[in-house]
Amino acid sequence: MSPPNAYERKKDPEGVRAAIIDAAMAVLADKGMSRLTIDGVASAAGVTKGGLFHHFPTKDTLIDGVLDSMTAHAAASVEA
Protein backbone atom coordinates (compact mmCIF):
# COMPACT_ATOMS: atom_id res chain seq x y z
CA MET A 1 0.00 0.00 0.00
CA SER A 2 1.43 3.37 -0.98
CA PRO A 3 1.50 6.29 1.48
CA PRO A 4 -1.26 8.90 1.14
CA ASN A 5 -0.42 11.93 -0.93
CA ALA A 6 -1.15 15.51 0.08
CA TYR A 7 -4.58 15.41 -1.50
CA GLU A 8 -5.62 12.36 0.55
CA ARG A 9 -4.45 13.49 3.97
CA LYS A 10 -6.95 14.58 6.58
CA LYS A 11 -7.57 18.31 6.63
CA ASP A 12 -6.78 20.13 9.87
CA PRO A 13 -7.31 23.86 9.31
CA GLU A 14 -7.20 24.73 13.02
CA GLY A 15 -3.95 22.80 13.42
CA VAL A 16 -2.40 24.54 10.42
CA ARG A 17 -3.57 27.92 11.68
CA ALA A 18 -2.06 27.20 15.12
CA ALA A 19 1.22 26.07 13.53
CA ILE A 20 1.40 29.30 11.52
CA ILE A 21 0.75 31.41 14.61
CA ASP A 22 3.35 29.46 16.62
CA ALA A 23 5.88 29.89 13.83
CA ALA A 24 5.16 33.62 13.61
CA MET A 25 5.67 33.95 17.37
CA ALA A 26 8.99 32.11 17.10
CA VAL A 27 10.16 34.33 14.23
CA LEU A 28 9.10 37.44 16.16
CA ALA A 29 10.95 36.28 19.27
CA ASP A 30 14.07 35.40 17.29
CA LYS A 31 14.26 38.21 14.74
CA GLY A 32 11.84 40.94 15.83
CA MET A 33 8.94 42.62 14.06
CA SER A 34 11.09 44.36 11.46
CA ARG A 35 12.41 41.03 10.13
CA LEU A 36 9.13 39.11 10.17
CA THR A 37 8.53 37.85 6.62
CA ILE A 38 5.80 35.74 5.09
CA ASP A 39 8.47 33.46 3.58
CA GLY A 40 10.13 32.99 6.96
CA VAL A 41 6.89 32.20 8.76
CA ALA A 42 5.67 29.84 6.04
CA SER A 43 8.98 27.99 6.05
CA ALA A 44 9.04 27.73 9.85
CA ALA A 45 5.44 26.46 9.88
CA GLY A 46 6.07 23.93 7.12
CA VAL A 47 3.42 25.37 4.81
CA THR A 48 3.49 27.09 1.45
CA LYS A 49 3.00 30.82 1.14
CA GLY A 50 -0.35 30.04 -0.50
CA GLY A 51 -1.31 27.94 2.51
CA LEU A 52 -0.37 30.76 4.85
CA PHE A 53 -2.32 33.29 2.78
CA HIS A 54 -5.35 30.98 2.85
CA HIS A 55 -5.50 31.45 6.64
CA PHE A 56 -4.06 34.97 6.86
CA PRO A 57 -4.64 37.03 3.68
CA THR A 58 -2.17 39.77 4.70
CA LYS A 59 0.79 40.23 6.99
CA ASP A 60 -1.41 42.49 9.15
CA THR A 61 -4.00 39.72 9.62
CA LEU A 62 -1.19 37.35 10.60
CA ILE A 63 0.02 39.81 13.23
CA ASP A 64 -3.58 40.25 14.44
CA GLY A 65 -3.82 36.46 14.74
CA VAL A 66 -0.65 36.37 16.83
CA LEU A 67 -1.95 39.14 19.10
CA ASP A 68 -5.34 37.40 19.47
CA SER A 69 -3.58 34.16 20.41
CA MET A 70 -1.36 35.91 22.96
CA THR A 71 -4.39 37.72 24.46
CA ALA A 72 -6.34 34.46 24.75
CA HIS A 73 -3.36 32.73 26.38
CA ALA A 74 -2.92 35.59 28.86
CA ALA A 75 -6.63 35.59 29.70
CA ALA A 76 -6.57 31.83 30.29
CA SER A 77 -3.54 32.20 32.56
CA VAL A 78 -5.21 34.93 34.60
CA GLU A 79 -8.40 32.90 34.89
CA ALA A 80 -6.47 29.84 36.09
Structure confidence by residue, pLDDT tens digits, 46-77: 999 999 999 999 999 999 999 999 999 999 99
Number of neighbouring beta carbons within 10 Å of residue 55: 19
Strands (E), the chain: none
Q: What is the pLDDT of residue 43?
A: 97
- Torsion angles phi and psi, residue 7, rounded to 5: -80, -15
Q: What is the pLDDT of residue 10?
A: 74
Q: Where are the domains of the chain?
A: 13-79
- Report the chain's C-alpha Rg in angstroms: 14
Q: Report the mean per-residue pLDDT for the chain.
A: 91
1 against 80, higher pLDDT: 80
CATH number of 13-79: 1.10.357.10
